[in-house]
Chains A and B, each alone.
Chain A
Amino acid sequence: MDVLLVERAIAGDEEAYAGLMAMAGDRLLAIAYRILRDLHRAEDAVQVALVNALRDLPTLRDADRFEAWLTRILVRACYVEADRGRRWNANMRVLPIDLPETSDPTSTVVDRDRLDRGFRRLPTDQRAIVVLHHYLGWSQPEIARALEVPIGTVKSRLFYATQGLRAAIEADDRPTSAERPA
């Protein structure tokens, strides 16, 4: 990110901020989509984040931290968006997805579907940590600094998220009671 552009934006240069929005937009959408797994809601979260970022820009004290700071604002917008989704979905009954048993012989695709189901079951705060760690490649201390949460919180969220995803992948591999040896 262009630090000079960030500094101009902090100083109130609207053109500079518009430039930052255009530059950061794709990256923000990529992160929000991976957290929320829904394009429209991800777009809504990005829009909220961009507006909130301008509102809070005067409080940014270090232009070098802009990317992490903006990511934190986006993650918070994702939390809100996910919460809104929960309210709307409160009366919806989740139907099980029936995977075709033999339609796709490659275990990779099956694992991916299982992973997707497992990921969607994770709380939003755990999803965010997974995305920042595995998609952006941030270390746990980097995530803790960016989100302004204790490192222990990052570790525990990542641990439980990983546990949940592992369970999702391995659940269908476990033998059913009928298959278990007596």
Chain B
Amino acid sequence: MTTDSDLDRQIQDYLQSGPAELSDRVLWAARAQLKTTQRRRARLAWLTPWRNISMSQSTRLLLTAGGALALVVAIGAGLLGGTGNRDTGHSASASPLASSGSPAIPSPSTASSAPQSSAFPIPTYPAQSAAPLTSAWETAGGPATRLGIPEMAPDGRIWAASCTDNAFRILTPGGQLAETWGPPVGDAHHFNFTLPNGECNGAIAFAPASGFWVLDFGNFRVVRFDKDRKYLGSWGRFGSGQGEFSHANDIGVDTVGSVFVADEGRHEIQVFTSDGVYVRSVAAGHGGSFLSTNGEGWVDTSLLPDGRPGLTEYKPDGSYQGGIDMPDLIPRPLGITHDGLGNLYVVGLTLADEPGAMVRFKSPPGGTQDVWNAGGIAIAVSSEGDAAYVLQASTETIAKYVIPAP
């Protein structure tokens, strides 16, 4: 029997040997990669004032001092003339939320027209405890299934791409596997949800009246179907041109049928008509990997304009609305979605890849947000906002949470 101290000594001895020094080649490669990164950052030079001000810290102090949320809003309203909200008639001074549910953020006019001179910070979400929330069930999409981003269909069932067989797993709200669907192997429209490097993902967006769009992750394309699952067309290929994809991760559709595709490789969100005609790019140079649109064309994404993880919102015309940093609750926001009431939900992971919180930004603004301990890497919610389906970090299971009424 090995004693504890003997075992500790053996482990320490075992860990003693190793390489002496880092090769210059690695340092050289890191520097070369940094240069590339810096060139990309140079395109975001208008954000320099934000970077140079340690506003996260000062904002945190303000916020934790109590009553500071109102102060931030008041400052924001004062600096920005109170024009920073969505066009819903809600006053910015009532809450740090924009009318969509986003926190206090610069006005569209100021942010888009004079960012070079603006030192307005990205607010930091106040540190707080997440309320407990227990999952109603947790289920896999079948044996050894690796799942993509879940989405709720108009009939209330949950669809999630499976990288195991490149088809969708369709779950009932009760967690039962109802169906597996996808164009069969050999079909020209057969999905591929895995990149050559093994990375797995896939996403889908539903429009109640006009069918759905599948982000065919590994084929670098979007495939459109009608509500009877009849193939209508597809667009996209690998590339950097308009309508091409390099690492598209997420897809959304608004009520007029505009299709939004978040591309991690291109660092932007491309907007298309429902049949794939390129319209414009949003968040060019700093688009996040994931997105959600509220149906009216407002789009939220998982990257702050200065390159840090966070939540950023853009107006329907593509101009910047604002953002928020959530280092204490969701250091890495990954899953973003809206319910049918306009509430915005965000989940993600901590820096240690543990589940972070789930935050619900309520709409219309003026109320408080909700924070629960129900993190994960992707999320779908019911249109009524009473249930959330969160893809767990393992990508193998989806957990259902019953959401308390706002």
Q: Which residues of A contact B (CB under 8 A)?
A: 12, 18, 21-22, 25-26, 28-30, 33-34, 39, 42-43, 46-47, 50-51, 54-56, 58-59, 61, 72, 76, 79, 84, 87-88, 90, 111-112, 115-116, 119, 130-131, 134-135, 147-149, 153, 162, 165-166, 169-170
The reply to whether B22 and A28 form a contact with Cβ atoms under 8 Å apart is: yes
Inter-chain CA distance A150–B354, complex, in Å, is 10
Inter-chain CA distance A112–B16, complex, in Å, is 12
The reply to whether B22 and A46 form a contact with Cβ atoms under 8 Å apart is: yes
A25-B21, A59-B327 known; A46 vs B11 contact (CB < 8 Å): no
Among candidates A59, A115, A131, A147, residue contacting B308 with C-beta atoms closer than 8 Å: A59
Among candidates A34, A47, A88, A166, residue contacting B26 with C-beta atoms closer than 8 Å: A47
A21-B30, A55-B37, A115-B10 known; A148 vs B19 contact (CB < 8 Å): no
Which residues of the partner chain A approach B57 to less than 8 Å between Cβ atoms? 61
Which residues of the partner chain A approach B14 to less than 8 Å between Cβ atoms? 112, 115-116, 119
The reply to whether B22 and A72 form a contact with Cβ atoms under 8 Å apart is: no
Which residues of the partner chain A approach B22 to less than 8 Å between Cβ atoms? 25-26, 28-29, 43, 46
Q: Answer yes or no: B34 CB below 8 A from chain A CBs.
A: yes
What is the CB-to-nearest-CB distance from B28 to chain A, in angstroms, rounded to a whole number? 10
The reply to whether B30 and A51 form a contact with Cβ atoms under 8 Å apart is: yes
Inter-chain CA distance A156–B295, complex, in Å, is 45
What is the CB-to-nearest-CB distance from B12 to chain A, in angstroms, rounded to a whole number? 5
Q: Answer yes or no: B131 CB below 8 A from chain A CBs.
A: no
If A12-B52, A79-B353 are given as contacts, then 6 extra A-B residue pairs at C-beta distance below 8 Å, sorted by A number, are: A26-B22, A43-B23, A50-B34, A51-B33, A84-B197, A130-B11
In the complex, 15 of the A-B residue pairs with CB atoms within 8 angstroms, ordered by the A residue number, are A21-B31, A25-B26, A30-B18, A33-B18, A43-B26, A47-B30, A47-B33, A51-B34, A55-B37, A58-B51, A112-B13, A116-B14, A130-B11, A134-B15, A162-B11
The reply to whether B354 and A134 form a contact with Cβ atoms under 8 Å apart is: no
What is the CB-to-nearest-CB distance from B222 to chain A, in angstroms, rounded to a whole number? 26
The reply to whether A55 and B307 form a contact with Cβ atoms under 8 Å apart is: yes
Which residues of the partner chain B approach A18 to less than 8 Å between Cβ atoms? 31
What is the CB-to-nearest-CB distance from A2 to chain B, in angstroms, rounded to a whole number? 18
Which residues of the partner chain B approach A84 to less than 8 Å between Cβ atoms? 197-198
Which residues of the partner chain B approach A56 to less than 8 Å between Cβ atoms? 308
Interface of A is mostly: helix
The reply to whether B30 and A50 form a contact with Cβ atoms under 8 Å apart is: yes
The reply to whether B19 and A29 form a contact with Cβ atoms under 8 Å apart is: yes
Which residues of the partner chain B approach A76 to less than 8 Å between Cβ atoms? 351-353
Which residues of the partner chain A approach B30 to less than 8 Å between Cβ atoms? 21, 46-47, 50-51
Q: Answer yes or no: B139 CB below 8 A from chain A CBs.
A: no
Inter-chain CA distance A73–B254, complex, in Å, is 37
Within 8 A of A (CB), among B1-42: 1-2, 7-8, 10-16, 18-23, 25-27, 29-31, 33-34, 37
What is the CB-to-nearest-CB distance from A9 to chain B, in angstroms, rounded to a whole number? 12
Instruction: Report how many residues on chain B are interfacial, defined by Cβ distance under 8 Å.
Output: 42
Complex: chain A residue closest to B29, CB-CB? A47
Inter-chain CA distance A55–B41, complex, in Å, is 10
Inter-chain CA distance A119–B10, complex, in Å, is 12
Inter-chain CA distance A141–B15, complex, in Å, is 21
Inter-chain CA distance A67–B21, complex, in Å, is 18
What is the CB-to-nearest-CB distance from B33 to chain A, in angstroms, rounded to a whole number? 5
The reply to whether B7 and A162 form a contact with Cβ atoms under 8 Å apart is: yes
Which residues of the partner chain B approach A79 to less than 8 Å between Cβ atoms? 353
The reply to whether B37 and A134 form a contact with Cβ atoms under 8 Å apart is: no
The reply to whether A33 and B7 form a contact with Cβ atoms under 8 Å apart is: no
Complex: chain B residue closest to A75, CB-CB? B352
Inter-chain CA distance A25–B27, complex, in Å, is 8
The reply to whether A166 and B7 form a contact with Cβ atoms under 8 Å apart is: yes
Which residues of the partner chain A approach B210 to less than 8 Å between Cβ atoms? none
Q: Answer yes or no: B54 CB below 8 A from chain A CBs.
A: yes
Q: Answer yes or no: B56 CB below 8 A from chain A CBs.
A: yes
Which residues of the partner chain A approach B16 to less than 8 Å between Cβ atoms? 135
The reply to whether B198 and A87 form a contact with Cβ atoms under 8 Å apart is: yes
Q: When each residue 100-142 of chain B gets 1 if its CB lies under 8 Å from chain A and 0 otherwise, what string results?
A: 0000000000000000000000000000000000000000000
Which residues of the partner chain B approach A72 to less than 8 Å between Cβ atoms? 351-352
What is the CB-to-nearest-CB distance from B3 to chain A, in angstroms, rounded to a whole number? 10
Q: Answer yes or no: B350 CB below 8 A from chain A CBs.
A: yes
Which residues of the partner chain B approach A131 to less than 8 Å between Cβ atoms? 15
Inter-chain CA distance A115–B2, complex, in Å, is 12
Inter-chain CA distance A149–B350, complex, in Å, is 9
Which residues of the partner chain B approach A58 to less than 8 Å between Cβ atoms? 51, 306, 308
What is the CB-to-nearest-CB distance from A67 to chain B, in angstroms, rounded to a whole number? 16
Which residues of the partner chain A approach B2 to less than 8 Å between Cβ atoms? 166, 169-170
What is the CB-to-nearest-CB distance from A165 to chain B, in angstroms, rounded to a whole number? 6
